Every structure is written in structure tokens, then in C-alpha cells.
Amino acid sequence: MTQTLSLADLRNNYVLGSLSETDVAPSPFEQFRHWFEQALSAQVAEVNAMTLATVTPDGRPDARIVLLKGADERGFTFFTNYESRKGQELAATPYGCLLFHWIELERQVRIEGRVEKVSAEESDAYYHSRPVGSRLGAWASVQSAEVADRSIIEQREADFRHQFGDAPPRPPHWGGYRLVPDAIEFWQGRDSRLHDRIKFFRLADGAWRIARLSP
């Protein structure tokens, strides 16, 4: 017997806040920082977890969650394996989209732009700030590749631990990417689905144009 999920009746009304063209900061980075701090204060779980969307060479969308590790006027930084599926997709098409859903605040932030590798110095600095287990994990995992069973990964981890001890160097295939935004949309849930959507578009001279989008 098949069971059907009753999803049609699942709905929330959003009432916590509002956002207008005049409330937002003139720079989307400043606006992001403001909302991020509010999400931190609201103790949103995994506040820096974001969906990263990329595209395959034949135009199929792909997505997964990564952790935001830096945000400033240059862009939004995350770290991963450069040879992973996402790494290969970004090598072929260096564009991505980042999406945050801060459910406790009824907010969504959507960031689009070009993706570039961060400098080796930046990757080194973050790599060496991580616990040794994570540093060895970056060596042990051939991220996104099929593996016959878990014991192979655990054996690789033990082998690298034996080789490097507590001081593994950063693997050449592991480091950071920065998404340099050309558009950022801030979404605030409102009553009766009349949500607020304020979008920043980067202009050729580097200034930002602000527009309201229909919900």
C-alpha cells in the first residue's frame, strides 16, 4: 500500500519583519553583515551553512551545502576540494549561486556571481586553523569519487596520519573559493505571501542599484 504525504496543507504565515528600499544599507555587504549578525543573535542553527549551486558542462544545475568562512567587500568565501564534483564544475563554468535560508527570521539571501580561487596564502591560513583531524581528512578524502567501502577511506586517513603526524601540509587539491557577487537579493517573509524582496545589482562602475521585486 502506498502512503501519500499531506504536504498541501503545510504552510506558515510570515509575520516577523519587513524590508524596504529605504531600510537597506547602501552596500549589500553591509546589509548582509547586518542580517548575519541578527541571525547569530537569534541563534539560527548552522547560520553559516549555505546552498552552493553550480552548473554542469551540459547545463544541468547542481547544488550542495557548504560553510561560509569569510564575507567582506571582495565576496563570500568557502573551502573545499578543488577536484570534487563542484570543483570540476567551477573549473568548467566559474559561476555560482549561494543561498541562505534563516528560517527563524523568515529570511532568505540569494547571492549570484563569478567564482574564483582564493590566494594560496588565504587557503594555507584557513587550512592551518582547522583541527588536525579535519586537516588529515582533506588528504584522506578523494571528494566526490566513488569508493568501494568506508574502510578504504579510514585506511587512507591512517596512512596520512603516519606520514604527516600532527603537521600535515595543505593538500594542493584543497583550498578556498570566493564568489564575487554581481547580484544579491534579500527576502523577508510577509503576511499573505506579499513578501519583501530587495535586490542589489552591481553596475559597471562598481556602484549598486537597488530594486524591489514582486514576491
Please check if 81 is assigned to a binding site. no
- Rg of the chain over Cα atoms, rounded to whole angstroms, equals 20
CB of 88 to ligand FMN, least distance (A): 8
Please check if 34 is assigned to a binding site. no
CB of 162 to ligand FMN, least distance (A): 24
Toward ligand FMN, which CB reaches closer, 57 or 215?
57
Report the run of H or E that residue 45 belongs to, with start and end: none
CA distance 81 to 15: 40
CB of 60 to ligand FMN, least distance (A): 12
Toward ligand FMN, which CB reaches closer, 46 or 58?
46
Please check if 155 is assigned to a binding site. no
Please check if 130 is assigned to a binding site. yes
Find where cell 527576502 sits.
187
Q: Which three cell numbers stand for residue 129?
A: 586553523
Terminal C-alpha separation, the chain:
39
CA distance 163 to 90: 31
Examine the residue annotation and report whether 60 is marked as an active-site residue of this protein: no
Count the Cβ atoms, other than its own, within 10 Å of residue 61: 10
Q: Which three cell numbers stand for residue 45?
A: 542553527
Toward ligand FMN, which CB reaches closer, 89 or 112?
89
Q: Where does this chain bind ligand FMN (CB under 6 A)?
A: 46, 49, 64-67, 78-80, 84-86, 143-144
Toward ligand FMN, which CB reaches closer, 14 or 76?
76
Can you list the positions of beta strands (E) in the chain?
Answer: 49-55, 61-67, 70-72, 75-81, 95-102, 107-117, 174-188, 196-202, 208-213
Please check if 7 is assigned to a binding site. no
CB of 141 to ligand FMN, least distance (A): 9
Count the Cβ atoms, other than its own, within 10 Å of residue 201: 16
3-state secondary structure of 20: coil
Q: Which three cell numbers stand for residue 82?
A: 578543488
Per the residue annotation, which of 193, 202, 209, 212 is the catalytic one? 193
Annotated catalytic residues are 193
Binding residues: 11-14, 64-69, 79-80, 85-86, 108, 126, 130, 134, 143-144, 187, 193-195, 197
Binding residues for FMN: 64-69, 79-80, 85-86, 108, 143-144, 187, 197
Binding residues for substrate: 11-14, 69, 126, 130, 134, 193-195
